[in-house]
């Protein structure tokens, strides 16, 4: 039984690592229709339908405080008061993570998300498309200065269903500082069954 549990935990850990890598570096992780995961630069020409990540201009690393200010600026640009929401990571608790969330009406959340994204792009954040997860109306990924920022309106999956009415959703910005670009990924193909 212990050998079986060990295989299960190893499989779960591998799945988690591949999933995180696919979100953070979508240009380095491809998951085929047959379940094969390819790590490293694409061996063939990427699909024309998948948007290519935009190259990030050289910018100095950002601090958590600078990312918090970028989030607050984008929220204000969308016509919202940052105090209407709440920080998802308390100040000073983790220098590599930050975020903001607010309960919004679904009818307004998508246009507010678009306004937030437009302001992030104005601030120099570069679109970091995730072909397996981003959609123009539900979530968009950005990168800048060693940080990755996900803007999302996926409400019911982020909170217990009893906190939101049917007309509400969470408007969320989640920031994570990762510096994985210095770690070369070998070209490896794994079959997940």
- Give tens-digit pLDDT for 162-177: 578 888 888 999 999 9
**pLDDT over 60 (residue 87):** yes
Assess whether pLDDT exceeds 60 at residue 183.
no
pLDDT for 84 equals 82
Share of the chain above pLDDT 90, in %: 30
C-alpha separations of 144 from 10, 33, 41, 132, 187 in Å: 32, 31, 21, 21, 26
What residues does CATH 3.30.310 cover in the chain? 64-177
CATH of 64-177, picked from 3.30.310, 3.40.50, 3.40.140, 3.20.20, is 3.30.310
Question: Residue 74's closest CA among 124, 5, 12, 7?
Answer: 124
């Amino acid at each position: 039984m212990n050998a079986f549990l060990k295989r299960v935990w190893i499989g779960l850990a591998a799945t988690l690592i591949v999933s995180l890598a696919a979100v953070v570096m979508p240009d380095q992780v491809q998951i085929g229709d047959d379940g094969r995961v390819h790590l490293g630069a694409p061996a063939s020409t990427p699909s024309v339908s998948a948007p290519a990540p935009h190259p990030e201009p050289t910018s100095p690393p950002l601090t958590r405080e600078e990312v918090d200010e970028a989030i607050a600026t984008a929220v204000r640009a969308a016509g919202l008061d940052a105090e209407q929401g709440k920080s998802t990571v308390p100040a000073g608790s983790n220098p590599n993570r930050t975020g903001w969330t607010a309960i919004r009406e679904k009818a307004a959340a998508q246009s507010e998300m678009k306004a937030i994204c437009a302001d992030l792009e104005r601030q120099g954040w570069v679109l970091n498309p995730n072909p397996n997860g981003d959609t123009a109306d539900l979530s968009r990924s950005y990168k800048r200065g060693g940080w990755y920022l996900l803007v999302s309106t996926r409400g019911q999956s982020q909170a217990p269903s009893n906190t939101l009415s049917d007309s509400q959703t969470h408007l969320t910005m989640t920031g994570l500082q990762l510096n994985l670009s210095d770690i070369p990924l070998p070209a490896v193909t794994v079959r997940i069954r």
